[in-house]
Structure 1
Amino acid sequence: MPPHDETNHNDDELGFSSSLLAHLAASRDQLNEFVDRQKTRADAAHKTNAVTVSSEQDEIEALYQRLKAIQAERGLIQASSSSSSAAAAAGMARRRAELQETQLEREKELTELKRLHAEKQLELDEIMNEEAAQRARAEKARHQKEEVEEMKQTTVDDLTKGIVNYKHLGLDFEKAARGSLRFTFTLLDRDMPSRPFVFSLNVAEELYEVEECTPPLDPHTVHELVDQLNSTEPAEFSPFIRGMRKYFSLLVFLHVCHTMFPLLDRPALSYVPNSQTLSLLQEKNF
């Protein structure tokens, strides 16, 4: 019987370990927190810059209007006043240039923050995509595991039915090493009814194989029976068990023949039976 895999209780239903889930959750939270913090910083900087520019422009406009009002009240611009106005205009020009430079710096900072935001968003998307891919793989593995468990249950049911049917023919079985099943036939040798004829059946990579066969049968014959067993879906054990019993019985028969008829064509009838030997016996009406 194939070994039963126990479920790791530290894994979630999709096969993720608790450490992997915690790591993914922590990474996602850190990225989200960083993105939100950078976005808040960018929004605040943009808002502050807009308020500063607007305030400075309002101040310049107020000064300019005040200058125009003074000039209108005086009715003319004296030479000294012209010099003062030129100095004031130059100061306003410098202030405007400073404001423009400040605005450019703020815009550069905003552009850099947007770039960082885009990079972190890309990293977050990659993590989310990888998490989705891992969940898809875990879901596929879960489905495969369910199919294997279903196949194991079907195998157990078929074996139980087969064993009940063959119990009266001297067939018994028991669990052997590494989860394999050991089948034992008796009542095949009339001179020694209790003589055991044994073979073990195991599952390797979802395929059945015979690991032990005593007394030995022709390997090619055993492989043919195993190939037929593996080719059915679900596996049909009754034909396989009947086939093994048939070749064990043939082994006993050939031994009796060689004992009773020493002049029998020994090359034609091997001590180890195979499909050709069986066909030859049928042709000679044995």
Structure 2
Amino acid sequence: MELLELPLDEHLEAVEKAIGEWTEQQKRRCKSAQRTSSVEVAKSEEELRELQKQKLELLEAIKQAEVAREQQKRRIAANENETRDLQAEIMKAEPIITSLKSRENLHQGNLGNLNQESNKSAQAHAQVVDELMKGISLYQKLGLLIDKKRENNLAFIFTQLDPNNPNREFSFSLRIEDNPDVFLVENCVPEVSDVNELLDQLNKTGNISTFVRAMRLRFKNLV
């Protein structure tokens, strides 16, 4: 009986050993599978988090795009309103511009007329001065010196009036005023009491020779 049981015991031990080895192998395989599964799960979780992050970024981009589109729509609407307002202002301004152009043309015409009148006045003044220079050339022999200080201004200097001092000077300046077109006396030395009356007569008649003779007579009477 013992001889029969011995091989059986050995066989059972061998079976038990084989089962133990298989069990350990399965445990190792399970642990390895668990580790692999944990790595895969961690990887999947990381990928899931990345996808969720990309989803949030995409949603934010969509949101910003919607905001930008709304802003663009408002800008377009504002530009359209501004364009309409500008067109309305242009339509309002067109009659004003037309009126200003008409006024400009009128002023240019008036300016041309004024320039013509100014040229005529300058020519008249030049003729007066020329005639004056010719008309009083004879007085130079009697001690009259004429000095053209500047345009429209003549200085008359008389000598030979004072017997005690022939070189004594009696003088005045005659200026032609442009507007109004009148004669003015300046720097009268010595003073002549009725120079304003003589000047009024000159402006009425325009006879410069008569005025110069009258001033010479007044100076002579002051000696």
Query: TM-score band, normalised by the shorter chain?
Result: 0.5 to 0.7
Shift of 1:159: 1.6
1: distance between equivalents of 2:142 and 2:161?
9
Between the two proteins, what is the percent identity of the paired residues? Answer: 33
Deviation digits for residues 232-271 of structure 1 (CA, Å, limit 9, x no counterpart): 3xx321001000001111112xxxxxxxxxxxxxxxxxxx
CA distance, structure 1, for counterparts of residue 198 and residue 130 of structure 2 = 20
- TM superposition shift of 1:118: 6.1
Written as runs of structure 1 = structure 2, the 5 A alignment for 1:203-242 is 203-204=176-177, 205=179, 206-218=181-193, 221-232=194-205, 235-242=206-213
Given candidates 196, 202, 206, the residue that maps to 2:175 is 202
Please give the alpha-carbon distance, in whole angstroms, between the structure 1 residues aligned to 2:187 and 2:105: 46
Between the aligned partners of 1:175 and 1:187, the Cα distance in structure 2 is: 21
After superposition, the CA RMSD in angstroms is 2.5
Residue equivalent to 2:219: 248
Displacement after TM superposition at 1:190 (Å): 1.6
Instruction: Mark the runs of 5 or more structure 2 residues left unpaired by the alignment.
Output: 1-86
Q: Within 5 A, what are the aligned runs for 1:150-189? A: 150-176=123-149, 180-189=153-162
Pairs aligned (count): 136
Quick one: higher RCO (CA 8 Å, sep 6+), 1 or 2?
Answer: 1
In 1, Cα distance between equivalents of 2:168 and 2:197: 25
Provide, for residues 51-102 of structure 1, a one-character-per-residue CA deviation record: whole Å limited to 9, x for no partner: xxxxxxxxxxxxxxxxxxxxxxxxxxxxxxxxxxxxxxxxxxxxxxxxxxxx
1:1-286 to structure 2, matched below 5 A, reads 119=92, 121-176=94-149, 180-204=153-177, 205=179, 206-218=181-193, 221-232=194-205, 235-252=206-223
Normalised by the size of structure 1, how large is the TM-score? 0.43
- What is the letter of the counterpart of residue 132 of structure 1? N
The structure with more radius of gyration = 2
Q: When you count helix as a share of all residues, which structure comes out higher? A: 2
2-side partners of 1:181 and 1:249: how far apart?
A: 20
1:222, CA displacement in angstroms? 0.4
Gaps (5+ residues) in structure 1?
1-113, 253-286
| Matching residue's letter, 2:163 | R
Q: Distance in 1 between matches of 2:207 and 2:140?
A: 17
What's the CA shift for 1:224?
1.1
Deviation at 1:125, TM superposition (A): 2.4
